[in-house]
Amino acid sequence: LRGAVRASDLACRYGGEEFTLVMPGLDAPSAAQKMRSICAVIRESVMSYCGARLTFTLSAGVAEIRAAGESPEGLLRAADAALYRAKQAGRNRVYEAEARLDSS
């Protein structure tokens, strides 16, 4: 993940297998396209462990700050909801958050 993001992006672990990626200066469609590129890089990554060939996938939910004063919690909820829609659709997908969820 580190090698696929821009120097201005901030990536951090958000849960066991979940990460948050903050991409300043990108609107939701641009961020979603960047995430699709990152998904392709991850999908092509192969690792060997104890003789087994390991491959990886990445699902992503993308949300955009649309108003000054929008809460970080509301933004994370929107991205998380989009992430779970992506996983339910078959994994290795990128979904944008639907029209504004509760931002408080």
Joined tokens for residue 74: 């509301």
Q: Is the separation of the CB atoms in 56 and 42 below 8 Å?
A: yes
- Tell whether the model's pLDDT for residue 101 goes beyond 50: no
The pLDDT of residue 72: 87
Sorted by sequence, the CB contacts under 8 Å of residue 58 that are 6+ apart come out as 35, 38, 39, 42, 43, 92
The residue written with tokens 């659709």 in the block is 89
Question: Which residues are designated catalytic?
Answer: 17
- Tell whether the model's pLDDT for residue 1 goes beyond 70: yes
Give CA 59 to chain center in angstroms: 7
Convert the pLDDT of each residue in 37-93 to its tens digit: 999 988 898 999 999 999 999 999 999 987 666 788 988 999 999 999 999 998 899
Domains along the sequence of the chain with CATH: 2-96 (3.30.70.270)
The pLDDT of residue 81: 93
The pLDDT of residue 68: 61
Joined tokens for residue 17: 């297998």
